Structure 1
Amino acid sequence: MIRPLLMCFVLCVVSGSSKPTEKKSRVHEEEPLSHLEHDDDKNHDYDHEAFLGEDQAKAFDQLTPEESQRRLGIIVDKMDSNTDGFVSEEELKDWIKKAQKKAQTKHIYDNVEHQWKDFDLNHDDVISWEEYKNVTYGSYLEDSQADSAYNYSHMMSRDERRFRVADRNGDLSADKQEFAAFLHPEEHEHMKDIVVQETMEDIDKNGDGFIDLKEYIGDMHTLEEGEEEPEWMESERQQFSEFRDKNKDGKMDREETLDWILPSDYDHIVAEAKHLLHESDANKDQKLTKSEILNKHDLFVGSQITDFGQALHDEF
């Protein structure tokens, strides 16, 4: 039986072709800093998750106000990387980036743990390529004619190539770290080349090693006969010429493709750092002292007083 990971891919292909005016995107968008509403008039829950990560924010919510402030003070000392007694916007950005990376890493390894037992058939704490192949492509291997609608042979070859890149010690078995890189290559530096290679193989229809404008647009959507062109297509053409094709040669090379699908900008992190700085910077000198942060501790972290205070407010 084809496993859920593969079937998810198949379903994405099917659904992607079933909505003629919907734009398909290959960009690996970063997870939002928080899925909560960002409304400071209601609460600072969004800021807590952005600053600490979701799990740590929940942990702080269980602390007393005194303990919450004490731990925030320790964090402030860590944020001040140049030990000048101030926290700059850049240091705030670095801290938020690290907190979010830690939260994302936990999410990835939770996913690995969830799938691990399905593939580690002999329970030896590694997943061999043979185990992964047999679980994922078992029905195809038993009868290669049964599922002729999809080219499972090609998909299996791509999976094996990615597996070998993730398998850093070359033993054709993946420990949990290697398996995480295989499942989530976009999150691992040494896997970025394979992400770009897979993307270019899918889009580069003429095989010249580049992605031209026609291929770029065609990957997002193919117009049916008589179908009116969606408005977003013109916008994407402008995106391609102004931002994707950086050297203005009419096509994207590997480096430009990497910048497209794995953007390195952190606009949402920058916005949150600016927000925290603006709200806490009492003397408006564009940097924060420890006192300024602790005076606005409820913006950065939560504590039990939030719910307790709200309960008193509701009661009286």
Structure 2
Amino acid sequence: MTNRITILNELKESSPVLALQDPFRTPYQVPQGYFESLPGLLLDLVKQNVSVSTLPVTATPFDVPQGYFDKFADSMLSKVRALESGSASEELAALSPLLQKLNRNNLYSVPEGYFEELPENITDGAKAIELVNEELENLSPMMSSLKNKNVYTVPSNYFERLPETILEKASNGKSAKVISISFARKITRYAAAAAVAGLIFFGGWQLLNTRPMTEIGPVADNNKVIPSTVSDTEILKYLENDNSTETETAVVPAASEELNPDEMKDMLADISDEELQKYAEQANGASTSLNN
């Protein structure tokens, strides 16, 4: 009794909900009238042919040959008889009737009279070899001596002269062709010089053909102070001289702004003076033709 009270106290501490349950009451129950109506429910299920889920029917993976059990007794008896047989023929007939029916013929055979004619065949072959050797000696002594001579030979003193031969071929060998790479560099320099000269020529041509707007003012101012006693020819000469000085002073700053003298020296370092002189003459000729 004390043990039961102790268990009940421990149950109250661990789970008060379970401790309050009636210990004499079962927690499981069936619906009311279940057992009374159970036979009728079972009969209804049988009458309705309700299929019960079962495992699928599969064929067994192991099988025996067709007619195995029909011939099993005969095969066992034949094996027993083979064990009890006294001779090899009886055992072979019991184990394999097919092999027992085969004729005892040798599969390998030689032609008829082979061994009787073998000595004569050997002597005939030896005589034929001797006959061939005699014919070779009589027909061509050189051919008969070839069988004892090495076919592959080297010239006399070949290995003694080999180092000298190699040195002669090496000393007399043709030198490789030398290709100069300065041609492409020279073309690049010529192209750079032509580009610089073209820029100079184009800038001068633009300055010669286009007059800046700042020239109008001084000309107009000069026209105001020119006295009436000056002749027309003197005025024209003055204007021509004034225009030439202005164009020269205009060309020099433009050229100095576009190109640096140090850069010009580096680019024209590898070009001769004669080539520059020819190019300057061509540029002057082209400028005079354009002005005309």
TM-score (normalised: structure 2): 0.21
Higher relative helix content: 2
Does 1 or 2 have the higher relative contact order (CA < 8 Å, sep 6+)?
1
Larger Rg: 2
